[in-house]
Amino acid sequence: GGSTWTPGLLKSLCKMSDRFPLNKVTMLDVVEERQRLIGEFGKILFKEEYPKATLEYTTNPDEAFIDVDFVFVQMRTGGLKMRELDEKIPLQFGLVGQETCGAGGFAYGLRSIGDMIEMVKTVRKYSPKAWILNYTNPAAIVAEALKRVFPDDKRLLNMCDQPVNLLRSYGRLLDMDSRTFEPVYFGLNHFGWYTSIKDKKGNELLPKLVEHIKEYGFINGEEGMKNDKKDSWFETNLFTKEIVKTDLTTIPSSYLKYYLFPDYVVNHSDVNYTRANEVIDGREKEVFGSCALIEKQGHSKGSGLKIGIHAEFIVDLATALAFNTQERMLLIVQNNGAIENIQDDAMVEIPCIVGKDGYEPLSIGKIPTFQKGLIEQQLAVEKLVVDAWIEKSYNKLWQALMLSKTVPSATVAKELLDDLIEANKNYWPKLN
């Protein structure tokens, strides 16, 4: 409830109140001051835009989860301070330092798993049938861990806003509404490819998109080059022009740059100022500043707080589950043959049809050798991280690092691991 993404989510709930009507919203965060600021903003917003619904906030999980229908989760164990270390420690070794990819993603994964398991248990104690919609990162590792611990929980869904974000960019590039697209996408979370994007009439749009992306990446031509905010997301979106050349029959996720172009990424990173710093100095200040101002003024007019795709997507998913819309959505689910030549127990990101009984994955068929090889390597990494957490195994974690495409040598992997253990000692299990 005290995330920088939460105000947008609350606004989205207000905006979509016709489609997804609510009686009551309870926000929960373990950090009291963050929750209070966003909670007070929420109260003002709901008074203005959604007087029919009640809004409360708390720091007590035993209060928050009583008799709820939906739980929206986005936790960040260790906060942005730990994200900063996830990014900076690998960079000190000359390796990719990123929130969810490579060594940073491992570190964050080992912090998230324990808290996520505890949260699901608490929810199930008070609301056995609630839908749990989970954004918590690194989503691939979290999804793998939750599947192992709660294999029969069919009302626990893992998701990411990145594929929808990409579709929206493609919509902008083509000047079309991306909600009309019929996409085919496969991969692991933050590790996937679009192989087809059709319009409602069945016309294939992918080749035209690839032509554009080869020149400008996901940036909207000369206009975007001039006007877009020049932060690290701009760089990432522009760099997709290089990634797309690795396979011109697909549109790759922008996150593949960390695995396919790690040398470029490291050479263009600043070990003293990473994305975490941009977020701390940017979004974090803006959101909490706006909430404090709104509380002081007593109204939310002209606040500049925006809804965003992250906020829309989760409410769309909840709507699909509540009202059986049978919408096609990209989720992180157990493979079970959907990608024919990838093992059944992989947690893959693929299109699903969503309705009142949950999700039905679409069949992807066989995937090419290039993607299969990459996915299998990365999948093994993710599985080893989860093994390491469950077995408290130093060796498995070292193996995970050695296997990552972002880490070149066993020696470096070990030195890096020892630094990560020290930095995460308040969060990780003690490894044997």
Strand 347-355, strand 358-361: pairing: antiparallel
Closer residue to ligand G6P (CB): 265 or 417? 265
Closer residue to ligand G6P (CB): 104 or 361? 104
Shortest distance, position 161 Cβ to Mn ion, whole Å: 6
Binding window for Mn ion (CB under 5 A); candidates: 66-74, 140-148, 159-167, 408-416: 159-167
Closer residue to ligand G6P (CB): 155 or 275? 275
Q: Which does 88 bind (CB under 5 to 8 A by kind): ligand G6P, Mn ion, none?
A: none
Contact 330, 340 (CB under 8 A): no
Residue type, 95: L
In the residue annotation, 255 being an active-site residue is answered as yes
Closer residue to ligand G6P (CB): 164 or 342? 164
Shortest distance, position 287 Cβ to ligand G6P, whole Å: 11
3-state SS, the chain, equals CCCCCHHHHHHHHHHCCCCCCCCEEEEECCCHHHHHHHHHHHHHHHHHHCCCCEEEEECCHHHHCCCCCEEEECCCCCHHHHHHHHHHHHHHCCCCCCCCCHHHHHHHHHHHHHHHHHHHHHHHHHCCCCEEEECCCCHHHHHHHHHHHCCCCCCEEECCCHHHHHHHHHHHHHCCCHHHCEEEEEEECCEEEEEEEECCCCCECHHHHHHHHHHHCCCCHHHHHHHCCCCHHHHHHHHHHHHHHHCCCCEECHHHHHHHCHHHHHHCCCCCCCHHHHHHHHHHHHHHHHHHHHHHHCCCCCCCCCCHHHHHHHHHHHHHHHHCCCEEEEEEEECCCCECCCCCCCEEEEEEEEECCEEEECCCECCCHHHHHHHHHHHHHHHHHHHHHHHCCHHHHHHHHHHCCCCCCHHHHHHHHHHHHHHCCCCCCCCC
Question: Does 385 participate in binding Mn ion (rule CB under 5 A)?
Answer: no
Residue that the structure tokens 């919408």 belong to: 327
Shortest distance, position 273 Cβ to Mn ion, whole Å: 22
Shortest distance, position 282 Cβ to ligand G6P, whole Å: 8
Q: Which does 147 bind (CB under 5 to 8 A by kind): Mn ion, ligand G6P, none?
A: none
Which residues in this chain contact ligand G6P in the complex, by CB under 6 A?
100, 137, 160-162, 275, 279, 310
Question: Does 162 participate in binding Mn ion (rule CB under 5 A)?
Answer: yes
The count of other CB atoms within 10 Å of the CB of residue 299 is 11
Closer residue to ligand G6P (CB): 22 or 265? 265
Binding window for Mn ion (CB under 5 A); candidates: 155-163, 274-282, 326-334, 414-422: 155-163
CA distance 58 to 300: 21
Among all residues, whose Cβ is closest to ligand G6P?
162
Q: Which does 279 bind (CB under 5 to 8 A by kind): ligand G6P, Mn ion, none?
A: ligand G6P
Question: Does 166 participate in binding Mn ion (rule CB under 5 A)?
Answer: no
Question: Does 384 participate in binding Mn ion (rule CB under 5 A)?
Answer: no
CA distance 46 to 51: 6
Q: How many residues bind Mn ion (CB under 5 A)?
A: 2
Binding residue for Mn ion (CB under 5 A) from 13, 101, 113, 160? 160
Q: Which does 253 bind (CB under 5 to 8 A by kind): Mn ion, ligand G6P, none?
A: none
Shortest distance, position 160 Cβ to Mn ion, whole Å: 3
Q: Which does 400 bind (CB under 5 to 8 A by kind): Mn ion, ligand G6P, none?
A: none
Residue among 108, 135, 255, 359 flagged as catalytic: 255
Residue type, 217: G
Shortest distance, position 15 Cβ to ligand G6P, whole Å: 19
Residue among 57, 108, 135, 161 flagged as catalytic: 161
Closer residue to ligand G6P (CB): 44 or 156? 156
Shortest distance, position 72 Cβ to ligand G6P, whole Å: 15
- Count of alpha carbons within 13 angstroms of residue 189, beta-carbon side: 27
Closer residue to ligand G6P (CB): 24 or 283? 283
Shortest distance, position 190 Cβ to Mn ion, whole Å: 6
Closer residue to ligand G6P (CB): 87 or 387? 87
Residues carrying an active site annotation: 161, 255
Interface contacts to Mn ion, rule CB under 5 A: 160, 162
